[in-house]
Structure 1
Amino acid sequence: MPLAIFSQNDGARRLGKVIGDTVVDLSVAAPDLPGDVVGFLAAGERALPVYRSIGADAPGRRALAEVRLHAPVPSPEKYLAIGMNYSDHGAEAKRLGVEVPPWQLWFNKQISCINGPFDDVILPKVSEKTDYEAELAVVIGRACRYISPEEAPAVIGGYMIANDVSARDWQMRTGTMTLGKSFDTHGPIGPWLTLSEEVGDPHALDIRMFVNGEQRQAANTSQLIYNIWEQISYLSQVMTLKPGDILATGTPAGVGVARNPPVFLKPGDVMRVEIAGLGHIENRVVAES
């Protein structure tokens, strides 16, 4: 059952366990557990048995419809994303004159961009080419360095949905892409963190993006060029990955900039990303005031 960060009328954010259409307030049902996702992941095997024991009859239950869900990991140490990691997206990028490199292409999304799963996304007044990207996000559960692809599954805490909102005009101004990927609110994630033990094969998940109800992207994570294990191993050669670090694993074809003609986001648009078994996130686009 997934981990969620939620609030009620008092605005206080709490860690909860999602069970069906309810969420159990863990500060009530298991007050000795850490109060946030990163702390929970860092606790590792000390936290999991208690978490697994909490059922639908636990105290502190609330209807999901009566709470507000927030970003599961609001302030990780790192938020990294890989570019052109679906072959069909690489092909559409090539048609736009962007060559696919023969190695993994990583960039930063500054953590200040992180946004809730159902919160508004602000359309910057300084960008005319803001776009969407549906992605599967991995959250690291255990610190690691120099690990092999075979060892990588053991360091994953869980999975969630991400929308790598991208200001294309700013993205293309520099080779790092960081500025175009890091505008405030341009990192919606959620709706919760599904623990890795509950996902099964993360390379067999259907992923879809809808804009105003129209399907724009549809793929399966089996189509990743570099699979999740390879991604984690590659990054761990450079840096220590820590609990809570977010890795966005790539987006498939169908982004707005590659459509003919290009279609960029406008105020009032509603983006919805769905991944099988992980739920959905949905964000309305609003003009910057």
Structure 2
Amino acid sequence: MKLVTIRTTEGTHPGIVTDKGIVDLSEFMPEVPDVKSLIENFSIDALGDLSSKAVNKGEFIEESEVDLGPAIDAPGKIICIGKNYGKHAAETNSEIPKFPILFNKFRNALSGDNDTVQLPDNAEKIDYEAELAIVIGKEAKNVDEASALNYVFGYCAANDLSARDLQFRTNQWLLGKSLDGFCPLGPHIVTADEIQDPNALDISCTVNGDIRQQSNTRDMLFPCKEIVSYISQYMTLKPGDVILTGTPEGVILGYDESKQVWLQDGDTITVEIERIGKLSNTMKK
């Protein structure tokens, strides 16, 4: 099952992707305003029943006609994992971390599939980072690794856009990571029942059609279950929280300085994850 955020003139609506098109679920549940509310109030099984009802009674909208917002547009937390692929750590001349490196983005950074992302006036070294994102489905506190994935609602593609010159201005990464629009998330959430193993998915990134990153989530240093368990030892994860799980090698920062060409006006970046989908965004000055 795939859930989307539909932007309308009246605000955002939750939607379900079907073989016939997208169904706006606000037709059936006007009291549930967004995807986060769906996650908070419905199990995956219950949403499956709702999806069947939508297919039978809903009006279908062509996906090309829908303005998609961030896959989830009101997360309580956006937690990111740094240097979670060994080859990415190596290309940036970093030590292999002993523990997951945590940082965060804020809601202002969210953007949706096919959104344009504004290049900032006060930064020049803008980079892409293809990532698998975890969406939490149940409150998780002090969960063990064996059960950690039971707390996951689903997965989506993410692009951890980074202004490297701002990121490394100080020893805190926040400024370079949470600029407006710098967390594209989508195009939809694929529910966890459709992803048998989140650490067995091909992941790639292209810029204007040229392959820049190509890997598999099995190469994570800290797999998804360990990440969820680790974070839950220190902060309570809530339904709708999002975790970006790190990026593989191939980012611009990893190139020799003489070959670093940072993202520019008109560049289109596409993150693709096996069984999840494609997330595309264009940079604009």
Match of 1:170 among 166, 171, 176: 166
Q: Is the 8 A contact 1:33 1:40 kept in 2?
A: no
C-alpha separation between the residues in 1 aligned to 2:31 and 2:195? 22
Q: Is the 8 A contact 1:110 1:178 kept in 2?
A: no
Output the amino acid matched with 1:159.
Y
Find the counterpart in structure 2 of residue 71 from structure 1: 70
C-alpha separation between the residues in 2 aligned to 1:17 and 1:40? 11
What SS class does the counterpart of residue 29 from structure 2 fall into?
Answer: coil
Q: Give unmatched runs, 5+ long, in structure 2.
A: none
Work out whether 1:3 is the aligned partner of 2:3: yes
C-alpha separation between the residues in 2 aligned to 1:6 and 1:215? 29
Work out whether 1:86 is the aligned partner of 2:85: yes
- Scaled by the length of structure 2, the TM-score of the pair is 0.94
Match of 1:250 among 236, 246, 250: 246
Find the counterpart in structure 1 of residue 197 from structure 2: 201
C-alpha separation between the residues in 2 aligned to 1:109 and 1:226? 20
Q: Is the 8 A contact 2:92 2:253 kept in 1?
A: no
C-alpha separation between the residues in 1 aligned to 2:92 and 2:99? 16
Aligned pair in 2 of structure 1 residues 54, 175: CA closer, same or farther (>3 Å)? farther
Find the counterpart in structure 1 of residue 47 from structure 2: 48
* 1:197 CA displacement: 0.9
Instruction: Figure out how many residues of one structure are paired with residues of the other and give that number.
Output: 282
Deviations 1:104-156 (A, max 9, x none): 11101122111111101111111111100000000101111101011111100
What SS class does the counterpart of residue 6 from structure 2 fall into?
Answer: strand
C-alpha separation between the residues in 2 aligned to 1:81 and 1:42? 22
* 1:17 CA displacement: 0.7
* 1:53 CA displacement: 2.7
Aligned pair in 2 of structure 1 residues 50, 158: CA closer, same or farther (>3 Å)? same
Work out whether 1:115 is the aligned partner of 2:111: yes
C-alpha separation between the residues in 2 aligned to 1:114 and 1:126? 20
What SS class does the counterpart of residue 125 from structure 1 fall into?
Answer: coil
Q: Is the 8 A contact 1:257 1:263 kept in 2?
A: no
Deviations 1:191-249 (A, max 9, x none): 01111111221111111100011000001111111000000111011100001111000
C-alpha separation between the residues in 2 aligned to 1:174 and 1:49? 47
C-alpha separation between the residues in 2 aligned to 1:265 and 1:99? 26
C-alpha separation between the residues in 2 aligned to 1:117 and 1:196? 20
Matched ranges for 1:125-140 at <5 A: 125-140=121-136
C-alpha separation between the residues in 2 aligned to 1:109 and 1:13? 21
User: Which runs of 4 or more aligned residues in structure 1 lie more than 6 Å from their structure 2 counterparts after TM superposition?
Assistant: none
Q: Percent identity over the alignment?
A: 39
Moved more, 189-198 or 254-263: 254-263
C-alpha separation between the residues in 2 aligned to 1:143 and 1:238? 13
What SS class does the counterpart of residue 159 from structure 1 fall into?
Answer: strand
Q: Tell me how large the CA RMSD over aligned residues is.
A: 1.6
What SS class does the counterpart of residue 151 from structure 1 fall into?
Answer: helix
Find the counterpart in structure 2 of residue 36 from structure 1: 34
Q: Give unmatched runs, 5+ long, in structure 1.
A: none
